[in-house]
Structure 1
């Protein structure tokens, strides 16, 4: 049974950058966080992920999303800020990043990252294949 204050994190497990970042957060064992790999989630009737999420799979894969305990969805920089508040060693970052005008500035940076993400992923995968065995 899920705790009433659980934050649900929807992430793109098909993205190597996203997987690595989520693995970092998970390793720090945040309390009250449920993880949903949208890339592996089976579609539900109506295009959802099989969970009680009001968004379709394409929307969840396009941006980082967190569902608050009250059911409201938050995406982008504000979603990261909510998650950081739950992750040991990142709580301080959540407090600082949540201070205006930082959420708006971080959102601008996140939108830029989203435009560059396909290129960054291709480059990282190419570099990994080209690296000598080690």
Structure 2
């Protein structure tokens, strides 16, 4: 699965690093949308939309976004059970909204965590 992430976002990079460390099968690939040579694929939105929330292209060609990406990435690396509750019918809307909130405020949260880690 090809995952598009914001390389200027410390939270995004931390999530990328977490997934890469646990991807023992090498099923995940990552593309930094902030790289100077970044070229979006034909079936993907432009960089501004990709920067708003995480997107990926699944092995079957489906374009996933937001929590769908997270759930699928965890499933593919064998940790799907960790994210399974986020997809349960009663909890899914809550986690999807929470993701949207964090995605919109990720730079502010990154600054808060950076300060608290000093």
Give the TM-score band, short-chain normalised. 0.7 to 0.9
RCO greater where, 1 or 2, for CA within 8 Å and sep 6 or more?
A: 2
Q: Indicate conservation of the 8 Å contact 1:77/1:103, yes or no.
A: no
- Structure 1 window deviating more from structure 2 (111-120 vs 58-67): it is 111-120
Q: 2:35 aligns with which of 17, 23, 40?
A: 40
Q: Which runs of 4+ in 1 moved over 6 A?
A: none
Let me know the Cα RMSD of the aligned residues: 2.3
What runs of 5+ residues in structure 2 fail to find an aligned partner?
none
Cα contact 1:68–1:74 (8 A) shared by 2: yes
Q: Is the 8 A contact 2:9 2:106 kept in 1?
A: no
Is 1:8 aligned to 2:2, yes or no?
yes
Distance 1:20 1:40 in 2: 17
Correspondence 1:27 to 2:21: yes
1:30 and 1:86 in contact (8 A); partners too: no
Tell me which residue corresponds to 2:86.
97
The answer to whether residue 74 in structure 2 is matched with residue 74 in structure 1 is no
Could you tell me the TM-score, scaled by structure 2's length?
0.81
Structure 1: runs of 5+ lacking an equivalent? 1-6
Q: Distance in 1 between matches of 2:53 and 2:85?
A: 22
Q: How many correspondences in the alignment?
A: 117
Instruction: Return the offset for 1:29.
Output: 1.9
State how far apart, in whole Å, the 2-side matches of 1:122 and 1:76 are: 22
Match of 1:63 in 2: 53
